[in-house]
Amino acid sequence: MRVLGIDYGKKRIGLAISSKVVTMALPLETIEHKGPIPKAAQLIFEKILHLKDIEEIALGWPLYMDGTLSPLCHEVLELKKNLELLVAKPIHLIDERLTSRIAEESLKSHGFSRKERKGHLDQAAAVEILHTFLERKKHLS
């Protein structure tokens, strides 16, 4: 059983995957997209088909720092609805406040240049989203 982490953005979607024993979050890839949300959902679905053992999905929920809904939240809800039509797996919305900043700092501390960080930032944010989900799940068990 594995969990897929998703950091949705208007141009790029970062993906992360849990280890097989569902304890670690690992970067998977970044999907470039510029089309409508149903197309983004289709691209994610195709990844899920290749991975085969995904049992749950942790989807970043981009709230403002004060907890109110950002405009991107509406797109994320639309993405979630489109994914639910394609995938019969639970999809959890995970608060992603500060994940991009944490991911950026992590990449910076590992010596990635600014250009290299840009290429890995979406995956690193997906790792943070997935890590948050896995930690929450561990504490609920």
- Per-residue pLDDT of 88-121, as tens digits, reads 999 999 998 766 666 566 656 666 666 655 656 7
Q: How many domains does the chain have?
A: 1
Give mean pLDDT, residues 132-140: 86
CATH number at residue 72: 3.30.420.140
What's the domain range around 127?
2-140
pTM higher than 0.85 for the full model?
A: yes
Taking only the tens place, the pLDDT of each residue in 2-42 is 999 999 999 999 999 998 887 889 999 999 998 899 999 99
For 55-91, how does the pLDDT look when each residue is reduced to its tens digit (9 = 90+)? 999 999 998 889 899 999 999 999 999 999 999 999 9
Three-class HEC string of the chain: CEEEEEEECCCEEEEEEECCCCCCEEEEEEEECCCCHHHHHHHHHHHHHHHCCEEEEEEEECECCCCCECHHHHHHHHHHHHHHHHCCCCEEEEECCCHHHHHHHHHHHCCCCHHHHHHHHHHHHHHHHHHHHHHHHHHHC
